[in-house]
Structure 1
């Protein structure tokens, strides 16, 4: 799979950009603040309908405008498919597939597959459980787009049930009695159990499939280190260790058994304390968790291994993802750099950003796209002929490379 065309309008720093792409390696070179990362972020957005560095869409829209547009033409096994996304903060986003409007944006999921490695990935390893859950969910949706609907439904149930718990907590503090609220809570327990069971089962399946790829990827990056593995930490009690025994019916039953036992604590805190939104993906080196025990180098290796494992899993499913490398080579030592180069050379399309051309290994020298305000500055930084110049608007903002 590769993108042969990418167009942006009012996305981040770009008022307008229309660039032809090709298989192989394309290197976007330019000083910080010129819009390099924004280009890769847009490609990633086409893939997962989300940003790798922003929790909401508001920051993706160029200042002074109300919406942004990302368009791409994907080529997969010789078949072309056009995808257009309208990013509209505060409203429902829009999507078009081959110029025809989609009923919902999620219909565009699965058209473009990407694997992105960026400096922010260190947060997956060192950050809060939400970062690791996000990593799992993005990969889950990439493989099975319908789970974006499952996840959305679950999130909606959690919000509604949490609001009810807060209302009951307030009522109890006011020494009032509301029997109808208790009955309604039991109804929401059933909704949470049903939605959570399907969501949770897919998480277990994902970890089971991903774990061996993660172990192999880490061993390839750090062969002298301790073996790496992952395990899913579930807030739901009594889940069988044997994955073959985990079914949606069993998980729903366990939810309905545990929720009443958590009732007092949940009302006191006004939040749902059981479910996939409370879980964690524990990353291990030997017998120790990576978070809190690994060195900085081991943490970087773990982050890279997670992305390489994602790519291996996608390829095992028959997809050839576009590899996005955002300003990462300067942060990598020789072994990790060599491992990433080997993967990149085996990819159909690789898009790379770098502040200076020298940061990119010579083995990946491909088409150069200069992202720079002045040609003279670009020539100074590259010291060689540039194949194409892309000029962002002079009031560029929002780039974080």
Structure 2
């Protein structure tokens, strides 16, 4: 019976993936429509306009909504690989393909000793919880690169480093995948790959790093943790406004710079905690690499001035990789991420009008979602610290060196 169930499990998983992904495709193609703003306009309007500029060999320097590292140009230009489709349809097809690649990588990893299909189930169940936004942003492509990097990390540290660097040049956050890397080869590969690609983009297209200026000018986005202060303050006479600013809906007005500065200070504190953890950590079991990556990205996401809905795609992907390890302690944070993803769908796009108007329904959705993310962050950090730094009666596992003999999986 156990063998029969083991054979049937992948079939159920694949069937679930197929059904849910067909629904997502029908949503982004407009066959079915859910309430709220049209999430596909980012692709059909913004990405499409960037595509036309990038084809001329330059970045969209006159558009302050271009706030991405230079390799993001590759994702925006990628629909050219499918010239027989319109730009939006080609983009959705590539997002669908990236989703499939992640599933294939997770299933392949699940076949190794000490691994599990739990991670694949997290991905299959988590992605549709975010609704059509997943296929209407290029974040699912970045997540595929990040998942590939983490799954390669244990046996191929150079590959991991190269993929992490490439991912960082796509959307910055994959640089955090190296938080738990102890192999020198991973860091050297990341540095060489990152420097080489950055130099290539700087020479190939002008303005490759103009996005840094645009990012610096951003305020507090309405879905962020700090935004809750202003959502409530609007009911007590706060005189600020909610406006489209630098490509997102943000609060502008009194005390916004102070709250934004506080968010940056929290992010700096989070990175300080990560550095302290690395200095204190003494045990690095195989799942530490993935657990540290999820913890680092949770810290970065929760403390950010901006928590866009697509950010949850990153967390779902990293949580899925964590749970491919049977020994991972990230089960509860992963479940909290899934719950936060569903609440994210309820607040965007379905209830976004309530969020923008700061009514109590919108505030409640944000409070619940951000509380789940904060709890997941604190639990992940606690588990990571406890499993790698606390005293143990078992022998301390030394840090692997570049000369160590590889152990077959």
Give the TM-score category using the shorter length.
under 0.3
Larger RCO, structure (CA 8 Å, separation 6 or more):
1
Q: Give the alignment's TM-score, normalised by structure 2.
A: 0.25
Q: Give the alignment's TM-score, normalised by structure 1.
A: 0.25
